[in-house]
Structure 1
């Protein structure tokens, strides 16, 4: 079954990769409309479901159950707190923050999708909406996946089997009978979701690196064909995540993740050194207020906060399915690196600390970019409207000599962030296929991931990348709900059993 599983998963992924290379227009004409239609139908309901997930995690963190340990009561903490936070942040969405750090707040400030009567401060509203896409809801999805697979209950103690919660939701007499079929289907859909979720990210990051390198090299007097730059960028990324995957979790992924965090911190410090501090502080405070209001007011019906309800299909709902696509591999990864940590620490570390880091990141980069005045501000908005990937580099160019350092630093940071996400995904895909010991499998998956990413970079359509990223997430949404039901059943049964044992004997 396991060999067949990998074969079928590879056939699906290679087929779509070939389509992207041989007939790229088909992706836009066929795949993109189907995905957009599905998001339009399912997006609003899934948004409400994610709000329930976030509320449940908050209540769990405050409940007596918060003392339970990930991995079971005997589990021991394996990684330092700093190494743990670095890995979960880098694997979760690090590269996206570099891509959208400047572009997304600027786009929202121009489009103004929120009703201005509710959110009069344009900059604060733009950052609040950005955080709705990148903040606690996104990390709550990751946190929920990790919790489902974290061995918190005795009935679901197998932390590397993503089908276990779904199987437990079935009647007892069907669990063993249907296990092979259910496991194969869930694993196959999860692999496809992980693969294309990461491919969309690699394509976006490669577009950013490609355009940034082209702009930088041209300004330095070099004339290199764009196609060669695109190929070179993808080869560098592929080489790093291939080598990191071979080094394993401790020497490869953890090392790259810690490097990422230091680089990101250095970038923020350098930006703060050359931009006014007061506007950033004001931006953070206003954005926090608007973000809190947006969460509370729009939790069950985001449409009520928007001028045009269709806007959410392209942005917020699309993002949430993208996080869902990453959920299986990030969840397995979180369950693996979080063993021994109490649930309160796990929830704070996975949901709220990364969200706070994201708020600071967007406030420093996006807030500073929006604070530019005069011709600088106008040129930035014009560049972002023309091409999302130019925003961060135009912003850095306005910062003088420090901007050149930041540009090269962003190149390196983006490459390492993408490599960290890709090698984490490859680790989980091969774990699901049970091929971790076969080097040929790593080569095939790496090559397939690179080829479809190259096809998407050639097409150069960021919205298409987002739609490709959620191909596997749309069917996996139903599996995720199924898993949640199984986890609630297992936890409730265990709590009732513990209650009966503690009840006094009459």
Structure 2
């Protein structure tokens, strides 16, 4: 009885119970009828991408412009915390945790697979040509550049502002307080928003866990001849689940921070090794050229919707999927970034979240993408053909063309595993926080429950349709959250305007969980 009380005493029972019941129903139905579930997933994905793909294009682009606008506006000097608060983490550790929780597995998975896929099947132009190679790298930069990080910046900024400066609980619903008031935030509307954020997080994380497990299996197959079967992939998920739950229970300082710092060291080692052993000049020229092309074409790429259907399915399968995936990561990455960003100003926060991880992503993509393109374009290799058969094997197939392939493969499997731990670790922390009334130090039991739920969801989706089901889950779950994010933007403007307007008196909030007053 004491254990029950210890577990539930700090738990928001409506959010916890409704979310868990819905999760169990989803996993149960998917496991019982995987083929039917796969067909439903496919139909949902097609409906959203065909009819509402433009919503993602407009929404995410607006979020980028909005975030940059805030950074350079009169609100840029507002502190995400009380006046005088200082950052809790060093710039290096802050950046490492940003990068590890925000990109992680996906960047390793798609670093070679994406540019080679676009090289063989570009959005427009002649396939397998110099032009398609240039377009491939430009769109790869686009999908991993400023747009995704702006999603994380908006949610993180809103969460940090309202919890650290205004004293509200660390809940997504708190970010809408200026719009819906205390009654709305504490009532059914606030509960709905928090449950939605929890579900979006589960499916966003499940997508990443599925991708990571598939790639680890492919790496083990290349390095040690272990079969990359579904059973092996599921075993990998189970093992990694145990590791990241253990890290989550240990806390941010000992768990996430340690693995985030380790991630950065491994990433730098892999990049340095490949730059030295690979086509160095080709990589450096490519990084320079693609960076310029990205900046020059960012507006056109942001709004290209393939109106005339010149390449059916491309925009939905790639750009729309990515924007949905980033939105699905928004609640947990944003909440986690907020948790580690107390004391930073709006300008420092936005520029730090947008610029530093984007630069690191571009370095990784240039080294991986151009090393692979060099093999196919210059040496007439067949990496693109390998990617067409198995995207999860792309990076390991590329390593085979360069010295130290076995060492690079081992380090990459290790970095995927550590990214796996940090991403899922951050997510379980945030999901536990959302179901404990915004507690910044949620109980270990809640972390275990949601850690297991994410992994079971990943296994169910893999069984129901593999990569396609993982992509569909992200797109479907993220769609309603786009509108929550737009509401967050309006809420921030309203709150910031009140704060800098010295003549306006902010209404008080009484007895809102923490018994604090918003001023």
> How far off is 1:123 after superposition?
2.4
Would you say the 8 A contact 1:71–1:335 is kept in 2?
no
CA distance in structure 2 between the aligned counterparts of 1:324 and 1:169, rounded to whole angstroms: 21
CA distance in 2, matches of 1:373, 1:35: 32
SS at match of 1:358: helix
Aligned-partner Cα distance in 2 for 1:151–1:225: 45
Deviating more after overlay: 54-63 vs 5-14: 54-63
Asked if 1:360 corresponds to 2:363, the answer is yes
The aligned counterpart of 2:491 is 486
Alignment of 1:55-66 (within 5 A): 55-66=65-76
Distance between the aligned counterparts of 1:176 and 1:453, measured in 2?
36
Partner residue, 1:110 = 120
Determine if the alignment matches structure 1 residue 421 to structure 2 residue 423: yes
- Post-superposition Cα deviations, 1:174-221, rounded to whole Å, max 9, x if no partner, equal x42663211210111110000110001100111111122123322xxx
From the superposition, tell whether residues 355 and 154 of structure 1 become closer, same or farther in structure 2 (CA, over 3 Å).
Answer: closer
Question: Could you say which residue in structure 1 is the equivalent of 2:153?
Answer: 143
Q: Does 1:191 align with 2:198?
A: yes
Aligned pairs for 1:78-477 within 5 A: 78-115=88-125, 121-151=131-161, 156-158=166-168, 160-170=170-180, 175-176=182-183, 179-218=186-225, 226-303=229-306, 307-308=310-311, 310-373=313-376, 377-400=380-403, 402-434=404-436, 438-459=443-464, 461-477=466-482
User: CA–CA distance in 2 between the matches of 1:87 and 1:467?
Assistant: 27
Return the alpha-carbon distance in structure 2 between the equivalents of residues 228 and 216 of structure 1: 18
Between 431-440 and 70-79, report the one with greater CA deviation.
Answer: 431-440
Unaligned 5+ segments in structure 1 are 502-506
Number of residue pairs matched by the alignment: 492
Q: How does 1:41-60 map to 2 (within 5 A)?
A: 41-60=51-70
Structure 2 gaps of 5+ residues are 1-10, 507-519
Taking the aligned partners of 2:377 and 2:164, their CA distance within structure 1 comes to 62
> Per-residue deviation at 1:366?
0.8
Would you say the 8 A contact 2:105–2:211 is kept in 1? no
Q: Does 1:12 align with 2:18?
A: no
Sort the Cα spacing of 1:280 and 1:338 in 2 relative to 1 into closer, same or farther, 3 A. same
Q: Which moved more, 1:334-343 or 1:151-160?
A: 151-160
Indicate how the Cα distance of structure 1 residues 120 and 498 shifts in structure 2: closer, same or farther if over 3 A, else same: farther
Distance 1:213 1:120, change over 3 A: closer
Conserved? CA contact 1:72–1:152, under 8 Å: no
Normalised to the residue count of structure 2, the TM-score between the two structures is 0.88
Q: How much does 1:373 deviate?
A: 4.4
Paired with 1:53 and 1:60, the residues of 2 have a C-alpha distance of: 11
Instruction: Give distance in 2, aligned partners of 1:386 and 1:8.
Output: 40
The separation in 1 between residues aligned to 2:199 and 2:143, in whole angstroms, is 23
Q: TM-score, normalised by structure 1?
A: 0.90
